[in-house]
Structure 1
């Protein structure tokens, strides 16, 4: 009897949260899936067209290029951001006096909104902006670029802003992983004569596996769905070189009023994020258990 009352009480407490989740998550998701099978152009009339929108989507060169750009962008952000975050965490882990101050400074960019950060970097990236001016003062004129106007480097320039904003998060997560490493293991490694690289490779890196899993998952989810940075910095240009799936969705719905195609593209992005992040998480969890 008491168990039944406990279950009933738990269900009653869960109902408000479930209702909010259903209204703001499940219903829009189901509505989006259904919309992608229609020819809706923003009006009240919709005709069921089956997989027509998806066939059109995969035959659309612009959308497929945006898909490739999204994957490349996510890969660049993942590798560079996690590498820099790990290097920073490794350098700060045993420097107690400066660790808190430096990690707080690294987190400061994340307090700025992505739109504001994009505006700041748009000025730095200008041909006469801060980056090219600094390179000129250092005598490195050969490295000066039209950062956001060159299709070959614009995507990487946009990714650099993302990395600058969130490398502090990666660093802090790795620092939390370092805090969980037993000091006895490190002391034993030192007694055995292990140098700094050997301690990192044999002791620290395996023990940082849970932090790596969290970092990879968060980075993939955030970078695959990137929208703010390319929208403000380049608008998807030049020559669609920084166009992403999120930007394609935005243009389909708000510029072209093609709600059905926008929904189909959103479903593609959703599946991409779910498959990639889930696969990465599963593989990294297996690695954790194998260590």
Structure 2
């Protein structure tokens, strides 16, 4: 006997139950705008190319050798340490306010808006705002003179000893709101009955944080550490807008940008981008090994 034909509605039913029709558009966009450009970047990194010539000259590993041996290219990684420290400061600040505002506090909705508002601003706008704040005789110097601390005024963006600290402080102000929202959402997802039981048992706020909140948001903390690592290594907007990389504030990404679009060395800039990608992946893997994503239990 021949195989009975499958009714049309049965085929449609199978397609509806299959996840692929829903995943296909996202996968196409992901491959087109993420994996294909990354593949092209890897290919460019093995060539000498100015971005305009239709012919690329193969140079093998010369671009990578230059990145690791030329001090101008690997030394800028040290600037990321300022932003790395700043990222942990913003995590601590965001976690503190998220914990405080997760309980009943007067005007807590107002404070939530104030904390999250900087993250809504465009990075270019933030750069220009703080550029006027830190300029000589600007807002910060005026405030210091007003409170009797005028002798502590400095060239906040002109002195290499403090310029990176000023830029890292700007980064804290802008990105604390993102961590704050992540932490607050995770804290509020913990069932309220657990807090009520803890209060009945006489647990203080510190005990609730240590035994309920901290274990409950462990995955979000892990995510924040990953974002801190990748973000500190890929800082671009703030130093590029505020100093243009002058006064020893040039980050690795700013250096790669200048290499590609000012010096027309697309192959070398691509090699820098590949190195940055590998460093971020390696540090993320190490972080995941040190802080595995175990199942969260509140007991």
The alignment's TM-score, normalised by the length of structure 1, stands at: 0.89
Instruction: Pick from 280, 286, 291 the counterpart of residue 293 of structure 2.
Output: 286
1:4-46 alpha-carbon deviations (Å, 9 max, x no partner):
9439964455444333332222221111101111122332222
**2:280 equivalent to 1:233:** no
**Equivalent residue runs for 1:141-290 within 5 Å:** 141-238=150-247, 241-281=248-288, 283-286=290-293, 289=296
The structure in which a higher percent of residues are helix is 1
The 2-side partners of 1:11 and 1:196 are apart by 47
The 2-side partners of 1:14 and 1:288 are apart by 27
The 2-side partners of 1:5 and 1:193 are apart by 55
The 1-side partners of 2:220 and 2:35 are apart by 30
Once the two structures are TM-superposed, the CA of residue 242 in structure 1 deviates from its matched residue by 1.4
Change (3 A) 1:52 1:198: same
Q: CA RMSD in A?
A: 2.5
The 2-side partners of 1:190 and 1:7 are apart by 48
- Contact 2:219 2:293 survives alignment (8 Å): no
Change (3 A) 1:12 1:184: closer
Change (3 A) 1:20 1:198: closer
**Equivalent residue runs for 1:55-74 within 5 Å:** 55-70=65-80, 72-74=81-83
Which structure has the bigger radius of gyration?
A: 2
The 2-side partners of 1:259 and 1:7 are apart by 45
The alignment's TM-score, normalised by the length of structure 2, stands at: 0.86
Instruction: Pick from 54, 61, 64 the counterpart of residue 54 of structure 1.
Output: 64
